Each structure stands twice: as C-alpha cells, then as structure tokens.
C-alpha cells in the first residue's frame, strides 16, 4: 500500500493560473519585431524539453546583444498581459482551502520571482502555501530535478509522502527525475506533450482531492 501523501508540490503556470498562453504570446510579439515567426507547435516542442524561444533567433544568426534586448521587451509584454488578461482558473481557491486542512503545500515554478509576485498579487492563492520557490531559488530549472528536490528539502519530506501536480512535459520530467510521484492535470495548451511517465492523470484540478483520497 502506498504511504499516505502529506505534501503537495504544485507547478504554477497552467496548474494554478492560466498564464502559459500569454508567455507564448509575449515571445511571439518579441520575436516578430525581429521578423521571426514562432509557431505554436515549435514553441511547445521547445517548452517540452526545457529550451527557450530564442533558439529561433540564434539559429538565424541574431546576436546575443539583440536577443538580450528583445528578451527584456518580452518580459515587459508578458507583464502587460499578466495585468490585463484573465488568468484565473475557476475553483482553485476553494480546492486549496480544503486541501490545506490536511496537506502541507508549496508552489515550485520556473517563473521569475518578479513575474510570480505580479501574478499572485491580491489573488489569495499563496495564502494556502507554506512556501514558494521561483527560478532564482534553486540550481537548475525544470526539467532538471533540482526544483522539486529543493521543495522536498524545504519541507524535510520523504519522496513517498509527496505528490507533484504538473501540466507540462518539462515539469513532469523534473518530477520523474526527482523520483517523486506526479499527477498531470489536463491543459489545452500542453495537450500535445508526452505524459507517459505520469503516475496519475486528472482532467481538472478539482479531481485532485478524489485522487488523493485513494492514495
């Protein structure tokens, strides 16, 4: 019998907030200024393995200095989207409130802290978390295991007591490499990703409660 889970490590983008589409759109906008087109299927392939959209620019001989400037513009575009678009996922807060009565929870994200704080300003989601880890706060980003290993250590938790909730191949690979069970929640944006290594599959986040009751 599986040990009862006590800790939940949530990915952020696409799991707790609907932001992945807008990060893609910000990259599209920044690359378009260089007369480069970022197709969705290309972006999803890059995202799955943990690459960056700037590979397209470098492949066309664009210099690092130009890319760095466009990357800064991309970050501005993304923050504009975060403050003007509806990124809420229905039912997240009531679910987290309920889960927080029986589980210790954290968010482990590849987002920059500045973007993460903007996303969660007055949103109430982080109120249910013991801590949050952003890309600056561990050694290597997903798909490396470092983010989730860091979360495990911060909780002083055992792997078998912990479950990860992800929506991307990159995040699942990180969980798999860390040796921690992972539940993948369906997201239209990442539906083409390979989730064959997932331990569990749920269609909506609110199905997590029922899943946990069986573990």
**Tens digits of residue pLDDT in 172-212:** 999 999 999 999 999 999 999 999 999 999 999 999 999 99
**Tens digits of residue pLDDT in 68-87:** 999 999 999 999 999 999 99
Domain assignment of residue 28, yes or no:
yes
> Does 2 have pLDDT greater than 60?
no
Answer with the one of 36, 61, 84 that is the final residue of a domain: 84
CA distances from 106 to 10, 45, 129, 147 (A): 6, 27, 5, 11
> Does 107 have pLDDT greater than 80?
yes
Q: Token pair of 27, please?
A: 């990259």
Residues 75 and 164 in one domain: no
> Does 91 have pLDDT greater than 70?
yes
> Does 104 have pLDDT greater than 70?
yes
Number of domains in the chain: 2
Q: Token pair of 102, please?
A: 């029986």
Using 50, 70 and 90 to split pLDDT, how confident is the model at 3? Answer: low
Mean pLDDT of the chain, nearest integer: 96
Report whether the peptide linkage leading into residue 143 is cis, meaning its omega lies within 30 degrees of zero.
yes
Compute and round to an integer the Cα radius of gyration of the chain: 17
Residues 131 and 44 in one domain: no
Closest CA to 182 of 21, 8, 42: 8
Give the DSSP per-residue string, 124-136.
Answer: -SGGG-SEEE-GG
- Give residue 13's domain range: 7-18+88-213
Contact 126, 132 (CB under 8 A): yes
Residues 137 and 198 in one domain: yes
Residues of the chain above pLDDT 70, percent: 99
- Mean pLDDT calculated for residue range 31-60: 96
pLDDT of residue 69: 97
Residues 199 and 172 in one domain: yes
pTM above 0.85, yes or no: yes
pLDDT of residue 213: 93
């Amino acid at each position: 019998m599986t040990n009862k889970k006590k800790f939940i490590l949530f990915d952020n983008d696409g799991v707790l907030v609907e932001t992945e589409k807008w990060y893609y759109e910000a990259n599209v906008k920044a690359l378009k200024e260089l007369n480069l087109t970022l197709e969705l299927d290309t972006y999803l392939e890059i995202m799955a393995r943990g690459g960056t959209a700037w590979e397209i620019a470098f492949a066309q001989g664009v210099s690092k200095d130009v890319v760095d400037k466009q990357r800064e513009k991309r970050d501005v575009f993304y923050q504009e989207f975060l403050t003007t678009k509806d990124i809420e996922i229905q039912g997240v807060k009531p679910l987290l409130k309920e889960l927080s009565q029986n589980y210790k929870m954290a968010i482990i994200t590849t987002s920059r802290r500045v973007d993460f704080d903007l996303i969660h300003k007055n949103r109430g989601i982080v109120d249910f978390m013991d801590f949050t880890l952003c890309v600056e706060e561990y050694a290597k980003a997903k798909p490396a295991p470092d983010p989730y290993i860091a979360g495990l250590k911060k909780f002083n938790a055992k792997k078998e007591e912990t479950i990860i909730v992800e929506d991307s191949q990159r995040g699942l690979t990180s969980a798999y490499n860390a040796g921690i069970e992972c539940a993948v929640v369906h997201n239209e944006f990442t539906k083409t990703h390979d989730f064959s290594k997932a331990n569990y599959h749920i269609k909506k986040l609110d199905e997590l409660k029922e899943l946990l009751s069986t573990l």
